[in-house]
Amino acid sequence: MLRIAVLASGGGTDLQSIIDACERDQVDGKVVLVISNNPDAQALERGRRAGARAVFIDHRKKKREDHEKELAAEIDREKADIIVLAGYLRMFTKYFINKYKFKIINIHPALLPKYGGKGMHGLNVHKAVLDSGDKESGCSVHFVTEDVDAGPLIAQIRVKVMPGDTPETLRDRVLEQEHILLPAVCQLFFL
């Protein structure tokens, strides 16, 4: 069984897609740990309901590496096989990335390498896609490296940009595909 740790800063809908896929036996695994840097993140409650340990680890007033050592202690305690960043709004240092090389994946709401990097999250991404006039968007899962959103791609799903799309309508359609793609990529780690 694949032991999955998920780091999330917000609502945790991508986390829920993994939990649901595990319960439906689409992923041969279990979410064993959910960590958030936001004490009010709904992701923590989603994790608790699924039987995972749910831990808040505050990043404020700490050196980056000290915060990452706290994360690593929890991840190692649960013997996680894979670390999924599902809307975790923190960048990592060499320490964390090298400790878990090719074990950390991230879901991004665009077709990388376009619309990635610092500041490209949430509605910012979808607004940038619409402002560009691109005819398609989508989501990407990639390995995490020191360069933000620049790690090797694992998989993508494309989504058409529709006439009259707003950042919110495009976000909603991309998010539906994230909920398909992310669990499918998690299953690849079991194979």
Residues classed as catalytic: 108
Find, among 12, 13, 63, 61, the residue nearest to 35 by Cα.
12
Query: Average pLDDT per run of 10 along the chain, which is 191 residues long?
Result: 96 97 97 97 98 97 95 98 94 95 97 94 96 98 95 98 98 98 95 68
pLDDT value of residue 134: 97
- Residue type, position 173, single letter: R
pLDDT value of residue 190: 84
- Total domains in the chain come to 1
pLDDT value of residue 154: 98
In the chain, count of helices (H) and strands (E)?
6, 7
- Give kind and range of the element (H or E) at residue 106: strand 104-108
- For 13, the domain range is 2-188
Paired tokens of 121:
């999250």
**Side-chain half-sphere of 24: how many Cα atoms within 13 Å?**
11
pLDDT value of residue 65: 94
- CATH number for the domain harbouring residue 141: 3.40.50.170
Find, among 151, 167, 164, the residue nearest to 109 by Cα.
167
Collapsing DSSP to helix, strand or coil, 3 comes out as strand
162: which DSSP letter?
P
